[in-house]
Every structure is written in C-alpha cells, then in structure tokens.
Structure 1
Amino acid sequence: MKDIARFLSGFKEFQRTYFCDDNKFYSDLSEDQKPKVLVIACSDSRVDPAILTGCSPGDMFVVRNVANLVPPYEKAPGLHGVSAAVEYAIKVLQVEHVIVLGHSCCGGIQALMHSDPETLGEFIAPWVKIAAPALREVSEKLTEKDEALRQCACEQASVLVSLENLLTFPWIWERVMTGRIYLHGWYFDLRKGELLSYLPETGSFEPLVARCERLDAKTPHQAK
C-alpha cells in the first residue's frame, strides 16, 4: 500500500501542476495530440523515455514492450499491437521521427541469450525471438568476448533489428525514402548514465550528450 499511496501523492502533484491553477494545457490536449516523435521503448521500469528526456505530456507517442522490439511487417491474422501503434503514429499522427530506444541490463535480451525457451513462458519466448538476428551476429563475431560485452552488443544489435523491421512496413519505407520521416537508434546505458545514438557512417553507437561531472568529483572551489 505504500507504493500506491506514493503514486496517489504523485498524481496530486501532477494535478496541481496541470489542473488546479490553469488547465488550458490539458484542455488543449483533450482536443488533439500532435507529437512529432514516436518512441519505441522497453517496458523496463528503469527506462521511462519521458523521464529520461524530460518531456511533457503530449510531446511523444510511446510504445513500450519487452526489449523494445518491432516485429517485421506482415498481414497474417493476429493481434498486432505494436504494428497497430506504429501505424497510428505514422499514418494518423504524422510523426516526423521514430526512435527505437534500447538500454543496458535488458531482461528481455538476457532471456534471449541465456534462458531455456521452455522456462520463459508461452509469450516471452516467441516475442524475444524477433531479436534472433542480433543474437546470431553476436554469437558469430564475439564468441571469445566476456559476458557483459556480449550482452551490450546484443542489446545494441537488437535496436538495429527493430530499425530494419520498421523499414519492412511499406508506408514507413516510402516516407523514409522521401525524407518525411527519420529513424533513430538510441541506447541508454543505465550504469554510466549515457545516451548513445547509432551512426550509420561509423557503424557504432556514439554519445549524444556529453557526460556530466559528478559534484563530489570537483574540488571545493569548483563546486561553488
């Protein structure tokens, strides 16, 4: 119950911010939403994209799932939740950017790499197999590397798999080719507090923002 009480206290603060004094902000949002960015992120509780980027309500359209995966385009019968959300963001909201946001310490990728599919449950095992190409690449190229490096490489490679799968959607491919939408692969290192972006020209993930200096690492004079 302590967590629930904390959530309700947080909502009260949210209510005071957006509704108590002047509710024009949400009054406008209730009429329409116009986010320019679609973020496909992991369900992991530590990597909320709005918190990481300091966004306000209405700034981004967010899809979250295990391991921030995008399945390839297909028309076979089924419940295509991620594809439906992507379609809405692209076709209805007309977003201009799509960010696939991966992260370190990802349980979904760890499950793909190490767990027996029979122990993962009936839904998780087939879902994380979307990233199987990433696992194959890591297994082929980094066989002799340590476990931490292999997992990081697989997490980052899975971001690229999702980007490739986005391009299998014909209406995304057409928009990318005509410059109406841009795809981005980001990776949040939650141990280092770094946000990286994939650069096609270098074939690697590079920092988007310079690392901050810890206050306790500064001299007393610098800290003033």
Structure 2
Amino acid sequence: MHNFPQHLLDGHASFMSGRYVRERERIRELSEIGQSPSTLVIACCDSRASPEMIFDAGPGEIFVLRNVANLVPPYQPDGGQHGTSAAIEFAVKALEISNVVVMGHGRCGGIHAALSPEASPLDQGDFIGKWMSLLGALPEQLGHNELMTPAERQTALERISIRNSIRNLRTFPYVADLENQGKLAIHGAWFDISTGELWVMDDKGDFIRPQITLEH
C-alpha cells in the first residue's frame, strides 16, 4: 500500500497550527449547527481556480460544486445518476441558497478539448468528450471563424459556455421559480488565472471588471 502523500500531510499540519487555530470556534459551531451558505459557486475542477481562494472564503461561507469546465446540464429527471444536478438540487432546495455563481476561467482544459475535436480521447470511454458535448455546436461555430486567433476562440468559448450553463440552469423548474420570485439571483463570472482578475456578467450578459479596493 502506498504512503499517503507527504505534501498533503504537511499541508494539514499547517492548517491545524494556523487557520484552524484562528477559526476553531467557527469550525466547531458549524459542526454542531450545520452549514448555511448563501451562495452556490459552480466552478471548474482546475487546481488553479479554487473558489475558496478566489473569494477568500472561510469555512461554511460558500457551497462549491466543481466539474470539468464548470458546465451545467439541462434539467433531465430521467432516473439517471446526475452528480451536478444533485448538487444544484441540494443547494437550492435544502440549503436554500440565495445566489448561484457560474464561474469559468482562463486557459480551461475542458474548453480547449472542446475546441480540439481532432485530438484523440484520453481513454476509450471518452468521458470528457461526452461531457463537453453539452456545449452542442458552439465549439464548431467558433472554430469556423478564421479571423479569430486560437487564444481568442478559447476565451470566447469560456465565456459563452458560462452563458450556456446559466441558460441550462434556468431549465430547473425550482430555480426558474425562485428567480422569478426574486428569491434567487444567478450570476456569471470569469477568472483570469494569469492576472488574478475576476470579470463578472452585467445585466446584458457582458463581462466587466468590477471596481474593487485592494487592501495593503
């Protein structure tokens, strides 16, 4: 049997002597009363784009759902096993969150795969290819635009994909109902790994950089 990764043990030791000491009471409180985050963040699995890091969130502050390329499938109660849909159901129906943020990021591997249909699948199961097919014809449409550079296509699809996921999210009846009642707000965001900047969707669907005040 392999030894548990030492860098993870070292990280846990650092957590116990640092952050856990500072937030011990909050963590113990959460263990007793349960979680009550106000925001669900649907993000990518990419190790460089952790929502907890980007939003400097403490324990219990955000409910995070991560999958390849931060995709949301349409509502499909067909008796299958739907991990993403299950997490959305729990966040909205059980935790009664008031905000959903679909957050993409720059240099997304899943989006790159969608724009590279000629590439061979990583495995015969091609789970990534099947998952990215949720984007439909969007990658092909961008791929035919010869006036765009590969980097421009990548960023464009990363952002269009966020809009597509938000559209799919609204096919969940309880999501649409709560949004119409003003009890749930849906947001889009895109994180630039190279600069650390966060771009957010305005009410027209455009991505803008919000004004923030940096602490020194």
Shift of the alpha carbon at 1:109?
Answer: 0.5
CA separation in 1, counterparts of 2:116 and 2:41? Answer: 27
CA separation in 2, counterparts of 1:111 and 1:24? Answer: 44
What is aligned with 2:201?
A: 198
Which among 154, 160, 165 is matched to residue 162 of structure 1?
165
**Residue pair 1:112, 1:125 contacting (<8 A) in 2 also:** yes
Equivalence map 1:55-204=2 (5 Å): 55-116=57-118, 119-121=121-123, 122=125, 123-139=127-143, 142-201=145-204, 203-204=205-206
**Residue pair 1:134, 1:161 contacting (<8 A) in 2 also:** no
Q: Secondary structure at the match of 1:119?
A: coil
CA separation in 1, counterparts of 2:23 and 2:209? Answer: 38
The answer for unaligned runs of 5 or more in structure 1 is 213-224
When the two chains are superposed, the root-mean-square deviation of aligned CA atoms in Å is 2.5
Shift of the alpha carbon at 1:79?
Answer: 0.9
The answer for unaligned runs of 5 or more in structure 2 is none
The yes-or-no answer on 1:7 pairing with 2:11 is no
CA separation in 1, counterparts of 2:8 and 2:38? Answer: 28
Per-residue deviation, residues 90-110 of structure 1 (Å, max 9, x unmatched): 000000100001001000000
Q: Counterpart amino acid of 1:138?
A: L
Identity %: 36
CA separation in 1, counterparts of 2:23 and 2:158? Answer: 43
**Residue pair 1:194, 1:211 contacting (<8 A) in 2 also:** no
CA separation in 2, counterparts of 1:26 and 1:18? Answer: 10
**Aligned length in residues:** 211
**Residue pair 1:167, 1:173 contacting (<8 A) in 2 also:** yes
Higher mean Cα deviation, 131-140 or 142-151? 131-140
Higher mean Cα deviation, 183-192 or 124-133? 124-133
Q: Structure 2 vs 1, CA of residues 75 and 21 (structure 1 numbering), >3 Å: closer, same or farther?
A: closer
Per-residue deviation, residues 10-67 of structure 1 (Å, max 9, x unmatched): 2122223465587322221112101000000000010010011110110110010000
Q: Secondary structure at the match of 1:44?
A: coil
**Residue pair 1:69, 1:162 contacting (<8 A) in 2 also:** yes
Q: Secondary structure at the match of 1:148?
A: helix
TM-score by length of 1: 0.85
Greater per-residue helix proportion: 1
**Residue pair 1:102, 1:187 contacting (<8 A) in 2 also:** yes
